[in-house]
Amino acid sequence: MRITFFKYQGTGNDFVIIDNRNLYFPKENSELVATLCDRKFGVGADGLILLENDPDLDFNMVYYNSDGNTSTMCGNGGRCLVAFAQFLGVIDKECVFNAIDGKHTATIDNGIVSLQMKDVSEVTTKPNSFYLDTGSPHHVQLVENLKDFNVPIEGAKLRYGIYGESGSNINFVEQKADDSFAVRTYERGVENETLSCGTGVTAVAIAMYEAGKTNHTKIDIETEGGYLAVHFESVNGYKNVFLVGPARQVFKGELEC
Ligand SMILES: N[C@@H](CCC[C@H](N)C(=O)O)C(=O)O
C-alpha cells in the first residue's frame, strides 16, 4: 500500500497528517501509526491525524498519539488539520468539524488558526496544582526557573504517580507578566516533553485565571516552540474558549508499506 502523507507543525508540536476521505488508511494498525511517528524508523511526529468526511460537518478529525493509540483532543493537531483542510480545498476560511470531544468551529487567516475548544465547567484545585479537562486531561503546576526544570523526569513522575495508567498531560508554568505565562508540557502518549501542547496551554490559561494569577481573559503563552494565545469568557465556568496560533505545512511524502 502506498501512503501519501503531509507533515505539519503548530508551535513545534508536529504531526503526520493523512487525507483519509476515501477511508484507505488501516485505522486499527497501531503499530503502523507508531512506526510512522517514530523519529528514527519513520517520518517522526508527536502524533498522527486522519482527515475524514463527516456526514454533517466540514470534516472529521481522528487523532493518534505517537505511541500508536487513539486519544482525546489535540488542540495543536486540530489547528494543523484546519490548515490542511484549507490546503486540500475542503474549506475556505471558516469551518466546523467533528473531533473526539465534539464539534469545533475554527477560522484560518494567513496561516493563523483560531480554534474553539470545548467549554470547561470544572477546575479542580489541589494543594499546589490544578486539574482540568480541555478536551484532554491536564495537570497544571506553577514552578520556579522553568527553563532549567526537568520536565521529562518530573512530568513522568506525576503522570504515572498521581494519574495512573490512563494518565494526564502535565504542564509546568511560570508567570511572565500580568497576562502571560511560559509553559512546558509532558505529553501522555508521547511520554516525553513536546515543544507545545494546545489543550495544555488552554488548561494553563484557564487554571491561572481560576487561581487569581491573572484577571485577563486573553492570555499569551510562550511554549518551547513559539507563541500561542488563549481567550475565553468566564461566566458559570469557561465558555467561548479559543486557542490561536500558527499552523504550517512542513513537507509532503510518500511511502510504501
Ligand atoms: N498535543 C496535544 C495533546 C494531544 C493529546 C495528549 N497527548 C493526550 O493523549 O492527552 C495538544 O496540542 O492538545
511511502: which residue's cell? 255
- Asked whether 72 lines ligand 1 (CB < 6 A), one says yes
**In angstroms, rounded to a whole number, what is the distance separating the alpha carbons of residues 74 and 199?**
6
Contacts of 55 (CB under 8 A, 6+ apart): none
State whether 36 and 52 are in the same domain.
yes
Is 134 inside any structural domain? yes
Residue 13 assigned to a binding site: yes
Residue 113 counted as domain residue: no
Query: Is 246 a pocket residue for ligand 1 (Cβ < 6 Å)?
Result: no
Quickly count: other Cβ atoms within 10 Å of residue 139's Cβ: 26
Same domain membership, residue 172 and residue 203: yes
> Ligand 1 atom 5: the closest Cα is on which residue?
74
Among candidate residues 37, 74, 80, 95, the one labeled active-site is 74
Q: Are residues 196 and 140 in the same domain?
A: yes
* Residues 216 and 181 both lie in one domain: yes
Ligand 1 centroid, distance to 252 Cα (angstroms): 23
Q: How many CA atoms lie within 13 A of 103 on its CB side?
A: 9
Instruction: Kindly state whether residues 104 and 214 are assigned to the same domain.
Output: no
User: Is 37 considered catalytic here?
Assistant: no
In a domain, 116, yes or no: no
> Is 74 marked active-site?
yes
Percent helix, strand and coil across the chain, each to the nearest 5 = 20, 45, 35
Looking at the fold, whether 80 and 134 belong to one and the same domain comes out as no
What CATH number is associated with residue 212? Answer: 3.10.310.10
Question: Is 199 known to sit in a ligand binding site?
Answer: yes
Domain span including residue 77: 2-108+247-256
At position 184, the amino acid (one-letter code) is R
Same domain, 237 and 136: yes
Output the tens digit of pLDDT for each of the chain's 257 residues. 999 999 999 999 999 999 999 999 999 999 999 999 999 999 999 999 999 999 999 999 999 999 999 999 999 999 999 999 999 999 999 999 999 999 999 999 999 999 999 999 999 999 999 999 999 999 999 999 999 999 999 999 999 999 988 899 999 999 999 999 999 999 999 999 999 999 999 999 999 999 999 999 999 999 999 999 999 999 999 999 999 999 999 999 999 98
Shared-domain flag, residues 163 and 231: yes
Cell output for 158: 506525576
Give the β-pairing of 123-125 and 248-256.
unpaired
Q: Do 236 and 132 share a structural domain?
A: yes
Q: Nearest C-alpha to atom 3 of ligand 1 is from which residue?
A: 74
Same domain, 186 and 83: no
Give pTM, 2 decimals.
0.98
Nearest CA to ligand 1 atom 2: 74
212 neighbors 184 (Cβ within 8 angstroms): no
Q: Are residues 176 and 251 both part of a single domain?
A: no
Catalytic hit among 37, 80, 197, 257: 197
Residue nearest to atom 8 of ligand 1 (CA): 188
